[in-house]
Structure 1
Amino acid sequence: MATLLPTNVHVSTHPCVRAKLSQLRSRSTGSKETKTLINDIATLVGCDALAKGLQTVQTGTDSSPLDYEYITEGISPSSITIVPILRSGLAMLEAIQALLPSPVSVHHLGMYREKSTLQPVEYYNNLPYHKAGDTSGVAELAIIVDPIIATGSTVCAAIETLRDWGVPRIISISVLASRDGLRRAAEAWPEGVELWVGGVDAETDDRGMIKPGLGDIGDRLFLAVGK
């Protein structure tokens, strides 16, 4: 399946991701377990994404407890922001924060899909304002976290928002995607975006939900099923 996808798409083959994704699919998996499984999958997929998306740089020297000097290392780029898509992206935030060696900024984007058109509507954006042409306060790398890529509309809108903000590079990390939605997202900005997902399902239904999918992850996380 992965061979049919664009080259900037990376689908996990980790056995633990596949097993945890299978557990997450079950309708019997409760809210607490759903949150834990999303965190675990985000950690595993995030490890691969950051291994490819970051580089190691020497930052100086320090001394070990035995007084031996060693070269200290950090990551590049150092200017990173994590962008969770509200609501369900919040469940992945701690996993990615824990992987990074130093705290980074977090800027939230709130989006929902309009029911009749399935198009994204942005209702919240706390990216820092800057004047046109001034990118001094813009991160070098934005990491989008959103568990689901279904039709691809939401992640495409997030990519466009971040691109307009001035971010030169984006990594998108998700738990599950549909094949068409993932392809659509990959084509939104091929030279600037890398997409990493835990698994891929073939299609969506007429409601824009992935089949068999995971259901509405936001509702499952926040016990809002049947709202």
Structure 2
Amino acid sequence: MADLPSNVHISQHPCLVAKLSQLRSQGTSARDVKSLIHEITLIVGCEALGKSLGTTPGPMDKTPLGYEFQTAKLEPEAISLVPILRSGLGMTLLPNPVPVHHLGLYREPISLQPVEYYNNLPNHIAGSGSGGAAVSSLAIVLDPVIATGGTCAAAISTLRQWGVKRIVVVSVLGALPGVKAVAAEWPEGVEIWLAGVDEELTDRGMLKPGLGDIGDRLFLTIGK
């Protein structure tokens, strides 16, 4: 899309087109929804982190045939994953364990404004007590759907207050107005990577045609 901000990246991977189509279908089972979210996250995440991360040489190791080789590891950067509860829990990423900090946010159904109900960032605000040493330099926000953008923008604001230097948002699908709102929250510090973008939102703040409520589809709470 020509009118997207420069810090928004839409993958052109052909496998994502097919997987996103499967995910949109109302006939896709919860088990397949979970698998598709995982697979799409890996593809989008590989593209995103390929631009954001580097590697450094690790110790020498041996293959099962006894040949020596030089291992590689992610650059020694303080990285954390920040899944947005609850649907972000379905997104998995990175080959090595890193700290996972959960943010719980939901949209108030009338105003559609974000409400934070859970935050386990260490010592929340940078510089309070011994908190400065625990702050990640790169936070990877996992948020499957960006609708109005309020929830993701609130997460970015919270992480920025915490003291992160860069944020990469990995998402499956976004609505154009919401994606623009998120991109404008901190243009110089945030990169947004998605598998696709829908043009419209319904009057209830849902993407059109969208994916439905991913949290409900993942956790079988449809009709709650």
Alignment TM-score > 0.5, same fold: yes
Deviation at 1:56, TM superposition (A): 1.7
1:21-170 equivalences in 2 (<5 Å)? 21-62=20-61, 70-93=69-92, 96=93, 100-129=94-123, 132-133=126-127, 135-170=132-167
Deviations 1:93-136, CA, capped at 9 Å, x for gaps: 3xx0xxx2321010111111001110000000011116653521
Deviation at 1:48, TM superposition (A): 0.4
**Contact 2:48 / 2:193 at 8 angstroms: preserved in 1?**
yes
Q: SS of the residue aligned with 1:116? A: coil
Distance 2:65 2:23 in 1: 46
Q: SS of the residue aligned with 2:32? A: helix
Q: 1:225 to 1:66 in 2, by over 3 A?
A: closer
Compute the RMSD of aligned alpha carbons. 1.6
**Contact 1:77 / 1:140 at 8 angstroms: preserved in 2?**
no
Q: 1:199 to 1:82 in 2, by over 3 A?
A: same
Give yes or no for the alignment of 1:218 onto 2:215.
Answer: yes
Q: What amino acid maps onto 1:46 in structure 2? A: G
Deviation at 1:77, TM superposition (A): 4.5
Q: 1:10 — aligned with what?
A: 9
- Structure 1: 5+ residue stretches without partners: none
**Contact 1:140 / 1:167 at 8 angstroms: preserved in 2?**
yes
Q: SS of the residue aligned with 1:7? A: coil
2:189 alignment partner, one of 189, 192, 197: 192
With 46-55 and 68-77 compared, the bigger mean Cα shift is at 68-77
**Contact 2:126 / 2:135 at 8 angstroms: preserved in 1?**
no
Q: 1:131 to 1:218 in 2, by over 3 A?
A: closer
- Structure 2: 5+ residue stretches without partners: none
Deviation at 1:32, TM superposition (A): 1.0
Deviations 1:5-41, CA, capped at 9 Å, x for gaps: 1111110111110111011111111211111111111
- TM-score, with normalisation over the residues of structure 2? 0.93
Distance 1:50 1:204 in 2: 29
Distance 1:66 1:199 in 2: 43
**How many residue pairs get matched?**
221
